[in-house]
Homo-oligomer: A and B are copies of this chain.
């Protein structure tokens, strides 16, 4: 839902409030940058997260200062960015970055109750590697109690996307030299087994063939 605060002032043509666009970015990204204010100082911390329906979950240790600040009710901001490429123009000024980002403004609320917290923790593992939670031990009550989970609604979320080639000034087009894009993507390497995994243990398909995004 566009609000004055989520309406883009710069490059409005790059903006979107389309939930399909927003959800695709959130579901591909692995790290969220969570911003909150505490005693007049802004903090931004990288956190694991997951989207489930209309909620974004982030979690941390129950004793974490950051999670306590987030739960305090002050308007927070969670930003998720996917880097897609470097845009190399014919002038320094027109250099840019191709990216897809989502900015969520809202008040974070604590997830209460063991069942709801457990569900959010499982969603965060599933977000990381879909299907993984079936392969591992589920959280015990003590583990759930040691974790704080907060959620933000997605009603005040907006996406911003830049893609495509550099946009040079007409007068620069005749300059000799190369211009264009270097595409970038997050590439998984070969999985590295923990040293006490039994030698004959197969690497699960979802790990061996892990990939993220397009």
Minimum CB–CB distance from A178 to chain B (whole Å) comes to: 5
Q: Contacts A10-B60, A46-B81, A191-B182 given: A90-B41 contact, CB under 8 Å?
A: no
Minimum CB–CB distance from A142 to chain B (whole Å) comes to: 9
Q: Contacts A92-B138, A194-B165 given: A44-B78 contact, CB under 8 Å?
A: yes
Q: Contacts A81-B46, A183-B190 given: A135-B177 contact, CB under 8 Å?
A: yes
Interface residues on A, range: 35 or more
Minimum CB–CB distance from A102 to chain B (whole Å) comes to: 10
Interface centre among A79, A187, A194 (most CB of B within 10 A): A194
Question: Contact between A125 and B193 (Cβ–Cβ < 8 Å)?
Answer: no
Which A residues from 148 to 188 make CB contacts under 8 A with B?
Answer: 165-166, 168, 172-173, 175-188
Minimum CB–CB distance from A176 to chain B (whole Å) comes to: 7
Minimum CB–CB distance from A66 to chain B (whole Å) comes to: 8
